[in-house]
């Protein structure tokens, strides 16, 4: 009798607590409405204290299980599972939900099992175990159908639909999402949920490249958000529709919707949204070659990103500014921003590593603390506790449990916003790829055209293998009356930073030869070095003091049949009279050097018709591979050059590439590779 009374009394207190906290929630939401969904305020209301709540929940579960109240114990496990899920501790969350599942079976509360199965699927989804996640979703669907749990059934349909999108099964995804939409309409779940599902359907169609259908469903979702005065989702929807129009190359409509999104984000004072949307607008202006407008919007985005310490967006802006300045032909500024991006990216990676180490330390300390708490709890269990203390603990636990769910509901909104922010950022990946491809196009336009090589040297080859889409290597050729100037360079870094350094190098090389009218190779390198040091503001205290390039340059005089060579770390190889001879470079770079070794020197040699010259960077020789996983080595590369001289020039390139790929095998290419060969 006492047990029945105590259970009745405790559940009554729990109901009162729920009603009280729901009243608090109503007040909070009213304040949020008054403040027009001020995001900062909403986030403050979503603050949680898991370290304080988890031990109390553990005590509640222990007491409930002792009293054979398995339903209450299941609720406790669910609450702990949800806290772990929200804090991305998925394995711990799975353990709690599995315990909740067992307690629901014990209490014969089968109606609620589908909800637990869905949460297990969500955890596994986050862990990337998609097949297992899908299996739990299917079990949840079957249980929800059997016990007519329509709310959970709609959630299950949506979860399966979203997972099917991740798996690339878009038709099946649409089938589940449409079932979810129909069910949501039947049970009148509310406009907001309907709008979210319409967005999901739009995503599925966009993945299928059915862009008109995607725009229609996003548009229908947008109208609901406008009716509800949901400014955040309205802004995000404007942006996403803009992305779809961008994919259709309808740039006028893209800018129209981006402008609406920007207006809404500015009203919300949501700086993240403002920064990203400004960046998106700048990207479109660059696509239209409207470089001044692109600069204006991208600089604004950068300024806001710096205000809120948003490093990833700062990095994106640096890369975008590098491309815009490159499009304008201002390669010095292009390199400046590309270099800034390079160093910031290193900083971000280092910070993430430190955070990971700190997280491991936190996990260790938390586990120690939980063990201490468990030990203390064991000691307390041996002490007699008065009923009033038990009631107080359970009441407090119930209140905090409900508070967790209310707070988590707010956090769900925040996570939903972050999820939609990911949709907002989805186009950035495409833009980055597009931007790098654009940089590749720019680089190709300033590299010497193959037709010029063929006109001057009927027999030649160029083996040019960038590590990434763009390269830090470059080759260059120019003919001035009876002089032919050819150069090959290896700039600091590879990828986009190296590419912009190469553009800077070509720009300066042209200036020295075309403007200063200098054709002595050693003088060219001396002036080139001075210009690089000046442009990059290099000195002993500069963090960029190691930026620069290695370069080999030859001036071929066709009247006197002489070759005048000078090199900064890169040699020249001359094949003459069936012998391969190396001309050694100066061991100093085109760039700052603490102990400068003086001026560059040059070497002159006569040549005969049919002789061959080879210029190359160190990417080929430095490649790891082979059965012993070693570098190819400079000597092995020179030996290979000598061995292939029996072939015509074009065939030599084929043979070199074949040997390189065979050596590399499964290894990743570690650097840009450039080899240029010409027959005189």
Per-residue pLDDT tens digits for 77-107:
888 888 788 778 889 989 989 999 999 999 8
Q: Which residue has the higher pLDDT, 230 or 404?
A: 230
Identify the band that residue 193 occupies on the pLDDT scale cut at 50, 70 and 90. confident
Interacting residues of 373 by C-beta distance below 8 A, sequence separation 6+: 55, 58
Distance CA 379, CA 389 (A): 16
Per-residue pLDDT for 493 more than 70? no
- Secondary structure (3-state) at 71: helix
Residue 367 lies in a domain: no
Look up residue 62 and give its two tokens. 């222990």
Task: Share the mean pLDDT of the chain.
Answer: 79
Residue 493 structure tokens: 């870094």
In a domain, 116, yes or no: no
Average confidence (pLDDT) over 586-593: 89
- Token readout for 282 is 């700048």
User: Given this model, what pLDDT does residue 516 score?
Assistant: 87
Task: Quote the Cα angle for 84-89-90, to 5°.
Answer: 95
> Rounded to whole angstroms, what are the CA distances from 294 to 268, 324, 340, 428?
24, 7, 19, 16
In the chain, the percentage of residues whose pLDDT exceeds 90 is: 37
pLDDT tens for 206-261 read 889 999 999 999 999 999 989 988 888 888 889 889 989 988 999 999 999 999 99
CATH number at residue 452: 3.60.40.10
pLDDT band at 28 (very low <50, low <70, confident <90, very high): very low
| pLDDT surpassing 90 at residue 644 | yes
Please write the tens of the pLDDT for every residue from 385-401.
444 334 434 444 444 44
- Confidence at residue 495, expressed as pLDDT on a 0 to 100 scale: 65
3-state DSSP assignment of residue 360 = helix
Binned at pLDDT 50, 70 and 90, residue 348 comes out as low
Rounded to the nearest angstrom, the gap between the alpha carbon of residue 53 and the centroid of all alpha carbons in its chain is: 34
Classify residue 164: in a domain, yes or no. Answer: no
Range with the lowest mean pLDDT among 48-52, 378-382, 574-578? 378-382
Could you tell me if residue 514 is inside a domain? yes
Sign of the four-CA dihedral 343, 349, 355, 358: negative
Distance CA 514, CA 575 (A): 30
Query: Does 628 reside within a domain?
Result: yes
Q: Is residue 252 part of a domain?
A: no
State residue 20's pLDDT score.
43
**421 vs 544: CA distance, rounded Å:** 34
User: Hey, which of 249-253, 341-345, 437-441, 611-615 has the most confident mean pLDDT?
Assistant: 611-615
What pLDDT is attached to residue 187?
Answer: 76
| pLDDT score of 392 | 39
Tell which wins on pLDDT, 45 or 437.
Answer: 437
> Looking at residues 485-492, what average pLDDT do you find?
93
The residue that leads in pLDDT, 150 or 360, is 150
What's the rounded mean pLDDT across residues 165-186? Answer: 89
DSSP string, 618-670: STTTT-EETTTTEE--HHHHHHHHHHGGGS-HHHHHHHHHHHHHHHHTTSPP-
Name the pLDDT band for 658 (thresholds 50, 70, 90). Answer: very high
Q: Is 542 contained in some domain?
A: yes
pLDDT score, position 402:
43
Name the domain count of the chain.
1
pLDDT at 430: 55
Domain of residue 518 covers: 447-679
Sign of torsion, CA 360 362 365 369?
A: negative
Q: Which two tokens stand for residue 641?
A: 């050059």
DSSP-based three-state secondary structure for 614: strand
Largest CA distance in the chain: 117
Give the C-alpha separation, 211 to 465, whole Å: 36
Tell me the percentage of the chain whose pLDDT exceeds 70. Answer: 75
Reported pTM: 0.55
pLDDT of res. 600: 94
Kindly state whether residue 551 falls inside one of the protein's structural domains. yes
For residue 568, list its beta bridge partners.
Answer: 551, 586
344: pLDDT strictly greater than 60: yes
| Residue 462 near residue 676, CB atoms below 8 Å | yes
SS3 593: coil
């Amino acid at each position: 009798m006492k047990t029945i009374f105590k259970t009745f009394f405790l559940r009554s207190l729990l109901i009162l607590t729920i009603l009280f906290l729901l009243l608090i929630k109503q007040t909070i939401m009213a304040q949020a409405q008054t403040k027009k969904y001020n995001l900062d305020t909403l986030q403050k209301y979503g603050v949680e204290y898991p370290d304080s709540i988890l031990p109390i929940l553990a005590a509640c579960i222990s007491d409930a299980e002792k009293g054979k109240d398995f339903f209450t114990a299941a609720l406790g496990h669910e609450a702990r599972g949800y806290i772990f899920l929200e804090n991305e501790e998925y394995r711990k969350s799975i353990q709690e939900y599995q315990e909740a599942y067992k307690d629901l079976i014990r209490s014969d509360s089968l109606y609620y099992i589908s909800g637990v199965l869905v949460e297990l699927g969500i955890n596994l989804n986050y862990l990337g175990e998609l097949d297992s996640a899908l299996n739990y979703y299917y079990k949840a669907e079957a249980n929800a159908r059997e016990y007519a749990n329509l709310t959970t059934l709609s959630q299950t349909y949506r979860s399966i639909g979203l997972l099917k999108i991740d798996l690339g099964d878009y038709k099946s995804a649409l089938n589940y999402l449409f079932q979810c939409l129909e069910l949501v309409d039947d049970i009148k779940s509310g406009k907001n949920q309907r709008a979210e599902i319409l967005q999901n359907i739009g995503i599925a169609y966009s993945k299928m490249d059915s862009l008109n259908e995607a725009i229609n469903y996003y548009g229908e979702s947008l109208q609901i958000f406008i009716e509800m005065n949901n400014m955040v989702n309205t802004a995000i929807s404007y942006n996403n529709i803009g992305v779809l129009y961008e994919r259709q190359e309808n740039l006028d409509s893209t800018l129209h919707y981006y402008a609406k999104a920007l207006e809404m984000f500015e009203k919300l004072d949501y700086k993240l949204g403002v920064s990203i949307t400004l960046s998106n607008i700048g990207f479109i202006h660059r696509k239209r070659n409207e470089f001044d407008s692109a600069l204006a919007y991208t600089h604004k985005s950068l300024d806001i990103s710096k205000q809120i310490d948003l490093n990833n967006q700062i990095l994106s802006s640096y890369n975008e500014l590098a491309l815009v300045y490159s499009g304008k032909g201002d390669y010095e500024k292009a390199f400046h921003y590309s270099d800034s991006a390079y160093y910031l990216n290193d900083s971000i990676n280092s910070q993430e590593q430190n955070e990971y180490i700190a997280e491991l330390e936190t996990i260790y300390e938390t586990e120690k603390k939980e063990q201490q708490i468990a030990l203390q709890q064991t000691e307390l269990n041996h002490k007699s506790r008065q009923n009033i203390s038990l009631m107080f603990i359970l009441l407090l636990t119930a209140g905090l449990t409900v508070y967790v769910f209310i707070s988590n509901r707010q956090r769900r909104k925040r996570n939903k916003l972050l999820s939609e922010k990911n949709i907002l950022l989805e186009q950035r990946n495409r833009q980055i790829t597009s931007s790098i491809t654009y940089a590749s196009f720019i680089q190709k336009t300033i590299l010497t055209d193959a037709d010029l090589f063929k006109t001057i040297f009927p027999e030649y080859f160029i083996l040019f293998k960038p590590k990434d889409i763009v390269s830090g290597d470059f080759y260059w050729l120019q003919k001035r009356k009876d002089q032919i100037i050819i150069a090959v360079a290896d700039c600091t870094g590879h990828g986009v930073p190296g590419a912009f350094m190469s553009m800077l190098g070509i720009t300066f090389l042209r200036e020295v030869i075309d403007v200063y009218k200098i054709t002595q190779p050693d003088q060219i390198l001396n002036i080139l070095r001075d210009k690089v040091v000046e442009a990059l503001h290099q000195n002993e205290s500069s963090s960029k003091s190691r930026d620069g390039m290695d370069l080999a340059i030859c001036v071929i005089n066709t009247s006197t049949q002489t070759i005048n060579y000078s090199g900064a770390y890169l040699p020249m190889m001359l094949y003459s009279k069936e012998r391969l001879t190396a001309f050694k470079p100066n061991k100093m770079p085109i760039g700052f050097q603490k102990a400068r070794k003086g001026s560059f020197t040059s070497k002159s040699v006569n040549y005969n018709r049919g002789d061959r010259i080879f210029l190359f960077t160190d990417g080929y020789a430095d490649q790891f591979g082979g059965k012993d996983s070693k570098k190819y080595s400079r000597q092995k590369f020179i030996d290979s050059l000598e061995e292939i001289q029996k072939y015509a020039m074009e065939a030599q390139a084929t043979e070199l590439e074949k040997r390189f790929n065979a050596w590399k095998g499964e290894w990743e290419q570690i650097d840009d590779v450039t080899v240029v060969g010409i027959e005189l």
